[in-house]
Amino acid sequence: MNDVNLWLALSQQALDEFKDYRQALRNDTTYSGPMDQYTSNVLDKMSDQEVVANLFSTPTLGGKTYTLFSVYLPGTSQVQDAIDHLTTEWPDHFIVIGAWWLDGRQAGTQWELDVDGERTGNTTGTPAYPIPTQAYRIMPPVIVYDENGDVVSTTPASSNADLRDINLLSGQEPRRFVA
């Protein structure tokens, strides 16, 4: 499987336009906003959009509130095409958080192999989409419950060391957040 999992944070304005565009399609009405079909098609690659998006925090960065979309695209060329399009058509409304092959490697890296051709567990290469230093802000807090189901503690993420997997696709290996 050559799919790539792309994490995109999109601004509230872009999210609202996407929802309006999708609603117009469903209602067979005319949409007159700035959302285009290609952008909508990319964002539509996220299944259970409202559920998955709500698994993450919605930080405010540079005066805009962002929501995470975790989309799956077939291969790095489609990922690059999508990123090029989104950043051209929607400048300052999308932040690329990262991209991973389903084997957990960041796109742009390769498995390091030992003399027998077996994976060492390390990777080589440079991630094609480096994780931004503020990426941790999309992470939901870690919540600890007691035996009665009451919240004992809530710990927000404070650095990229706190990045963790949220909503892995069936069969997807854990994402590597460092190259």
The verdict on residue 175 lying in a domain is no
pLDDT classification of 1: cutoffs 50, 70, 90: low
3 state SS of 111: strand
In the chain, the number of structural domains is: 1
Cα gap 130→97, rounded to integer Å:
8
The verdict on residue 102 lying in a domain is yes
Task: Find the helix or strand (DSSP H, E) in which 143 lies.
Answer: strand 142-145
Token duo for residue 10:
């999109």
The verdict on residue 111 lying in a domain is yes
In one-letter notation, the amino acid at residue 116 is D
* Residues contacting 49, CB < 8 A, separation 6+: 43, 69
Token duo for residue 83:
């990123």
pLDDT classification of 179: cutoffs 50, 70, 90: low
Quote the pLDDT of residue 2: 86
pLDDT tens per residue across span 117-148:
999 989 999 999 999 999 999 999 999 999 99
Q: Which residues of 14-53 are buried (b: 16+ CB within 10 A; e: fewer)?
A: bbebbeebbeeeeeeeebeeebeeebeebbbbbeebeebb
pLDDT tens per residue across span 35-94:
999 999 999 888 677 788 889 999 999 899 999 989 999 988 999 999 999 989 999 999
The verdict on residue 107 lying in a domain is yes
Residue 147 domain boundaries: 3-162
